[in-house]
Structure 1
Amino acid sequence: MSSRELASQHQRWTAYQDLPKLTNHWYWRPGWRADRQFYTWHLTFEHQPELHHLVADLQRQLALPGLDLVPLDGLHLTMQGLGFTDEVTNTDVAAVVAETRRRCAGLPPLELSLGPVDPDAEGIGLLVRPWDRLEHLRATIRGAIGAVWQTVPEASDGFRPHVTIAYSGGQAPTGPIRTRLNDLRHQQPARVTIRQASLIALRREHRSYRWTTVATTPLDA
């Protein structure tokens, strides 16, 4: 594990020890509402039995008050937002997809490790590593957007790759969750191979994130 990854995990775990209550993840962010969807580039995890087995095992032990478990078909890694679907034209979507595919054509599949558990106030995730390949893919996607638009949404810095397996559903006390996480911190991570990035139309539905896949870009160099 790189020093950045190790430092991030240690810092977040230390902060979690002093956290008395969870923060409800499901408040409405600016611009969001129940009938609105958002275009965003994600990595998704279909057909990943090793990861699904790990997550199912962890979730069996994290069925605790205050946590909303993520369905296996809802696991995702957020890469780069594009904009609300009612604000981005179909022409721009097509141009961004075409440019992203062109720029990603030379990139190989991503070999990633997911785990161990990595909690914060709004949920419990899995540490994802290595970061450098994901950062390169994100920069490539941002470059493609920048070739179509003068301004690329979202900040270029502050990206922390993670896959959430449980969101906080309310201001539950963290003590029982910390106790359970102490027993889970040393489980072996899962290995995955990611062969595409997906542009999705993301929505919130019954305290979970669901989506429709709009386009994909292969990683198959």
Structure 2
Amino acid sequence: MKSKPFPPGRPDSLDDAGEIRRNDWAAFSSLSRMENHWEIKPWPSGASNLYWYLTFGHDDFLASTARACQDALGSFPLRPVAVETLHMTLLKVGGVDAVEGAGLERVVEKAGIALESVSRFELAVGPLAGSAGAIRFSVSPWSPVLELVERLGAAQESEPGLGPVGSVENMRPHVGIAYSAARQPVAPILDRITDLRELAPVTTMVKDVKLVRLWRTDSAYEWEEMATISLV
């Protein structure tokens, strides 16, 4: 079953940072508990899939901010994301075997054509919020991110052998920093995060989009880069 988007509703503005952050925090703070991410997000043993990512491991300032938040939340049963692998998931392409069967090089080529006129853009990452299964940074603005997803999705849907792409209306851009490793009350976490929300958002430049192969171990995601498409 496909998971429902969180927050359930979109912010009133896709570009106003204050409205995006307010919407994220209102949804997270309305929860009574967090769930065990590894139980609510099943993953077939041995499976690996290809995704389009934005990656942020190059941004030392963002990495240090994420690490400070992870350290401050260290007393809770959370599994931190390695800061060198910080990322935003844009779009699932499909299982590795299916994509290779469809023609991996052709998939990348079509994506490159779809993005050839897209300019680099800045994102503000932060402050901290979360979902039922993860702690994550709000991200603003959304519009340039959603444009990437729409263009990648249109290119993908034109490729025989790959499944249909879901609606961009269901995407909620964010950068995760930790996964919930247990079913736990959210109130103590909210109290701790309230102080962490005082940390200034980090502005970072999005220069490229990466195709990655993603797999899951017992309680962590791992990925490797397969291709990079630079923005102009």
TM-score by length of 1: 0.90
Query: Residue 105 of structure 1 aligns with which residue?
Result: 116
Deviation at 1:91, TM superposition (A): 4.4
Task: Give distance in 2, aligned partners of 1:197 and 1:14.
Answer: 30
CA deviation vs aligned residue, 1:130-179 (integer Å, no higher than 9, x gap): 10000111111112112223853333321110000111111122222111
1:152 aligned residue (161, 164, 167): 164
Q: How does 1:202-217 map to 2 (within 5 A)?
A: 202-217=214-229
Deviation at 1:110, TM superposition (A): 2.4
Q: How does 1:104-143 map to 2 (within 5 A)?
A: 104-143=115-154
Contact residue 33 and residue 184 of structure 2 kept, 8 A = yes
Query: Residue 53 of structure 1 aligns with which residue?
Result: 64
1:193 aligned residue (201, 205, 217): 205
State whether structure 2 residue 63 is matched by structure 1 residue 40: no
Compare 14-23 and 35-44 and name the one that shifted more: 14-23
State whether structure 2 residue 13 is matched by structure 1 residue 3: yes
Query: Residue 70 of structure 1 aligns with which residue?
Result: 81
1:167 aligned residue (168, 174, 179): 179
Contact residue 145 and residue 173 of structure 2 kept, 8 A = yes
Amino acid at match of 1:99: K
Compare 148-157 and 64-73 and name the one that shifted more: 148-157
Task: Give distance in 1, aligned partners of 2:37 and 2:98.
Answer: 25
Contact residue 197 and residue 218 of structure 1 kept, 8 A = yes
2:33 aligned residue (7, 21, 32): 21
Structure 2 unmatched ranges of 5 or more: 1-10
Deviation at 1:93, TM superposition (A): 1.8
Contact residue 57 and residue 87 of structure 2 kept, 8 A = no
Contact residue 102 and residue 159 of structure 2 kept, 8 A = no
CA deviation vs aligned residue, 1:81-119 (integer Å, no higher than 9, x gap): 111113323442211100111221221212111000122
Contact residue 94 and residue 163 of structure 2 kept, 8 A = no
Task: Give distance in 2, aligned partners of 1:52 and 1:37.
Answer: 26
Number of equivalenced pairs: 219
Task: Give distance in 2, aligned partners of 1:151 and 1:47.
Answer: 32
Compare 85-94 and 65-74 and name the one that shifted more: 85-94
Contact residue 64 and residue 177 of structure 1 kept, 8 A = no
What is the RMSD of the two structures over their aligned residues, measured on CA atoms? 2.1
Deviation at 1:74, TM superposition (A): 2.3
Deviation at 1:28, TM superposition (A): 6.3
Compare 59-68 and 89-98 and name the one that shifted more: 89-98
Structure 1 unmatched ranges of 5 or more: none
